[in-house]
Each structure stands twice: as C-alpha cells, then as structure tokens.
C-alpha cells in the first residue's frame, strides 16, 4: 500500500461508522469535515466492511443475491423512494468516492500551498496505474482528461487528415464522435462516410459486414460508439471492428462513454487505437474527470489539442494529452478510489448485475401490449441502455410521468426513434424493476 493509500485508510473505523442520516445532517450543518477530518487524514462516512466481507466470500462466478446488492445500494445517498435509472447520463458516487472528493477539496482549501499539494502528483499517478490495470491497458497509455467529449475531440483534432482521406462513422455515434468529425471535415477537406445500423440490429455479423463494405483504400479512421446512448442502445462488436481496422492500418477509435464502468472492458484485447470514457457515468466516479486511452504505438501519431504546463516534447506516453491547466486534484484522486470500489465488488460482477437488471426490464416490457422495444434482447447486441416507445404516448410526457408520479428517473430519447430511455445500474434492485413495469403498464392504460 502506497503512502497515499495509507493516508486515506488511516482514519479509525470508529470515527466513520455513522448513519447516513447523521452524516448528511452534519454535512448540511457544515461540521462534517471538522468531525471526520483531522489534519490530512481522510474518512469514509459509511463502513465498507460488511460489503467488502460479503463480496470476498462470494464465489468468483457468483453474482450475489439481493441482500448483497442491498449492501451495495447502501453505499449511495440516493433519495428515499427514488429509482434512479439514468446511468447513461449521470451516476451518483458511492460514499468512499464522494467523501474522498469532499475531504481532499477541503484539504486544498485549507492549504493551497505547493508543499501541501505536492502529494497530488503521486495520487494522480496512482489513479493512472489503477485505471490501466482495471482496463487491461499497457503502462503510460491512459490520459486523465475531463470527459468523453473532450477525449473524442482530442482524437478527431489530433489525427492529421487531408483532402482525399476518409473517416467512417456509425450513424448511431454520439455528436462528440460524429458531428465533431463533420465539423473538422468541413475545415480540412476530408470525407465523412456513415454506416447505417438497423434498430435493433439483427446480428453482430450484419454490423461487421456493413462496416467492412464501407472501408476503402482512402479510409484513415473508423470511429464508433461502443454502446449507443440514443435510438437503440446497441452494443457494437468492438473487438471484431477494431481487428478489421487494424488489418488495414486504419485508426480505430471507440467512444466508451456507455461501456466504461459498465462492461468488463479489456482494451488490449479489444485492439483499439484509442478509447474514451467519462468517470461520471457508469463508472460512478467524480465529475469532470474522463479517460483517453491511446495505444502505445499510436501516441506519437496523435497531436494534443491543448498545450500548457506541463507540456514538454519528452513527456511520457499519453500524459501529453492532459496538459489542461489547473485541474480538480481531489476529483482525479477520487477516480483511483472509484477503481477500488469496482475491484472490491468485482468488475465482472458489476457487468453481470447491470445486465441482470436491464434484462429483467426488457423482458417485462416486451410483455406489455403496445410497447415497442428498440433495444435488442440479445446480450451480444445490448448492454445497459434500454430504449422503448410507450405506444402512442408522447415519450417526453411519459418520461415526466415516470418521475413525477412513480419516482423513476430516466430520460427521453429523440432522433429517428423517439422513446423513453432507462439505464439501470448496480444500485438498482429487482423490486425497482417491478415498479418500472407497473408504471409503464399504467402509462399504457391511462396515458402520459
């Protein structure tokens, strides 16, 4: 354990075994920091011991029962009665992550001197190493940026393209991995080609064939969204698409906004040249921190978008993409804490639970007359994003009714397939699945 981790863990358990209600009351009262933080020692308001012990006792292939996932849910300060299913947009952070941000922010505000803040350099490198291990990435290939959109734009701005070059995109790409390329094509004169994906797609092979037929000798980049957050929630066959690109010397960029923290991702095995993600979504980490992975052999071919301190020509690996000026050091440190939370539960177990909740919702929705499910039922074509059309009801009104009447928080989805989007995660329960199905049935019967 590093000195930084020892500092984080050094607070005695008795000092942070307080109830959720007690913690929040003290936090609002402004005295939480005084009672939980002594010098530079950090605390956690809710003990992880029962959860950690139960997770350790589980067989490696066992997902865990509702009691176990109840312990997971207890690590979040979710509003009583709220079924939050909006992970595709924003996730809450668990206690240990939230409090790491809080306590380190207070530490900085108490003493913003260079000597006091020197420890954050070590924390940043610890965070980077943990992320690389979590994602199966080689050392020095992860840059700590601000979010997926920034990471996507570093790639679309940093690859040198000229008239005659071609970029192939999916028509399901997020704007930061779609419109961003189109704007740069107008500026630099290269060509954009979009591959149409059926909603829902029939098979991974159909997707692979569509992309393969779109590639030409002029193709320099293949960029796609790993899990579509609008229209369909389709999971792309990333490894196969990256392999096709690699064989042709084409740069393969994967927008991982909806897979980072949700799926058991191994970037070396995926074979992409670059991958982006946000900590604030499925990863359940702090806000305004993201990741940009660039395969080691490709780092020198990608230009950084922002040049500032600590830029220098000999900077090591992907760090050259994070010279973004003053950062929120406490949030970056808390990303490492979030990795610990995922590892404690088990990243394969996180994906299994997320899929179990999502599958239960999809199976139930298909049994409600009049509801059209856009998301695929096939696990190889879907992940945690569920999009459905509630009959003739206005999706925006249905989304509003779900929240105001039933306390189910999702989103509305636009585009060619307007609908309601639910994106559940590990803090959701099977009882909440039943609530969703009852609420959708009510909307179908009584309208939105």
Interatomic CA distance for residues 347 and 331, integer angstroms = 21
DSSP SS3 for 24: helix
Tens of pLDDT, residue by residue over 276-287, are 999 999 999 999
Tens of pLDDT, residue by residue over 28-60, are 433 333 333 333 333 344 478 889 999 999 987
What's residue 191's pLDDT?
Answer: 98
Interatomic CA distance for residues 41 and 207, integer angstroms = 51
Provide the pLDDT confidence category of residue 213 given band limits of 50, 70 and 90. very high
| Structure token digits, residue 213 | 């037929």
What's residue 49's pLDDT?
Answer: 87
Q: Which H helix or E strand runs over 204?
A: helix 204-214
Interatomic CA distance for residues 426 and 338, integer angstroms = 14
- Contacts with 114 (C-beta within 8 Å, 6 or more apart), sequence order: none
First to last CA, the chain: 54
Domain boundaries, the chain: 125-342, 348-442
Which candidate, 78, 106, 40, places its Cα nearest to that of 428? Answer: 78
The fold of the 348-442 domain, in CATH, is: 3.90.1150
Tens of pLDDT, residue by residue over 231-243, are 789 999 999 999 9
Interatomic CA distance for residues 143 and 87, integer angstroms = 23
Assess contact for 409 and 85: CB atoms under 8 A. yes
Q: Evaluate whether the domain defined by 125-342 bears CATH number 3.40.640.10.
A: yes
pLDDT at 12 over 80: no
pLDDT at 166 over 70: yes
Interatomic CA distance for residues 126 and 144, integer angstroms = 12
Of 418 and 31, the structure prediction assigns the larger pLDDT to 418
What's residue 31's pLDDT?
Answer: 34
Tens of pLDDT, residue by residue over 98-108, are 999 999 999 99
What's residue 23's pLDDT?
Answer: 40
Tens of pLDDT, residue by residue over 334-363, are 999 999 999 999 999 999 999 999 999 999
Tens of pLDDT, residue by residue over 108-155, are 999 999 999 999 999 999 999 999 999 999 999 999 999 999 999 999
Tens of pLDDT, residue by residue over 361-401, are 999 999 999 999 999 999 999 999 999 999 999 999 999 99
| Structure token digits, residue 260 | 């980072």
Interatomic CA distance for residues 100 and 334, integer angstroms = 6
pLDDT at 10 over 70: no
DSSP per-residue codes, 278-291: ETTTTT---TT-EE
Q: Which H helix or E strand runs over 169?
A: strand 166-170
Q: Which H helix or E strand runs over 49?
A: helix 49-57
What's residue 27's pLDDT?
Answer: 41
Whole-prediction pTM: 0.89
Which candidate, 410, 340, 396, 148, places its Cα nearest to that of 258? Answer: 148
């Amino acid at each position: 354990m590093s000195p930084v981790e020892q500092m984080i863990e050094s607070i005695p358990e008795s000092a942070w075994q307080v109830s959720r209600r007690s913690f929040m009351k003290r936090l609002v009262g402004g005295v939480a920091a005084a009672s939980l933080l002594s010098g530079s020692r950090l605390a956690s308001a809710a003990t992880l011991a029962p959860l950690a012990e139960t997770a350790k006792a589980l067989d490696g292939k066992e997902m865990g029962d509702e009691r176990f996932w109840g312990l997971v849910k207890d690590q979040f300060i979710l509003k009583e009665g709220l079924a939050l299913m909006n992970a595709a947009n924003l996730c809450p952070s668990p206690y240990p992550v939230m409090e790491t941000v809080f306590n380190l922010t207070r530490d900085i505000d108490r003493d913003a001197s260079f000597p006091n803040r020197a420890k954050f350099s070590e924390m940043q490198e610890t965070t980077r190493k943990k992320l690389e291990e979590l994602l199966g990435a080689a050392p020095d290939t992860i840059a700590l940026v601000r979010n997926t959109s920034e990471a996507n734009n570093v790639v679309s701005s940093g690859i040198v393209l000229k008239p005659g070059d071609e970029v192939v995109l999916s028509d399901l790409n997020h704007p930061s991995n779609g419109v961003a390329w189109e704007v740069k094509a107008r500026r630099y004169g290269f060509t954009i080609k979009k591959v149409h994906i059926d909603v829902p797609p029939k098979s991974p092979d159909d997707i692979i064939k569509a992309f393969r037929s779109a590639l030409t000798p002029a193709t320099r980049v293949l960029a796609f969204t790993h899990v579509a957050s609008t229209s369909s929630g389709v999971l792309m066959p990333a490894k196969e698409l990256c392999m096709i690109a690699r064989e042709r010397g084409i740069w393969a960029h994967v927008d991982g906004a909806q897979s980072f923290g949700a799926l058991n991702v191994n970037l070396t095995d995926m074979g992409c040249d670059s991958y982006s993600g946000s900590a604030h979504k499925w990863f359940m980490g702090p806000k305004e921190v993201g990741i940009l992975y660039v395969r080691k052999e490709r780092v020198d071919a990608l230009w950084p978008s922002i040049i500032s301190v600590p830029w220098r020509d000999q900077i090591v690996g992907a760090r050259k993409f994070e010279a973004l000026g003053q950062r929120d050091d406490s949030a970056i440190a808390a990303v490492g804490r979030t990795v610990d939370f995922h590892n404690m539960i088990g990243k394969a177990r996180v994906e299994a639970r997320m899929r179990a909740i999502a599958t239960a919702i999809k199976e139930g929705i298909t049994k409600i007359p009049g509801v059209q499910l856009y998301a695929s039922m096939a696990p190889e074509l879907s992940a945690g994003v569920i999009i459905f059309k509630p009959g003739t009801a206005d999706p925006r009104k249905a989304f509003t009714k779900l929240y105001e009447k039933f306390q189910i928080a999702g989103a509305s989805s636009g585009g060619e397939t307007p609908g309601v989007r639910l994106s559940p995660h590990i803090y959701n329960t099977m009882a909440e699945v039943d609530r969703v199905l009852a609420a959708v049935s009510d909307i179908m019967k009584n309208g939105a």
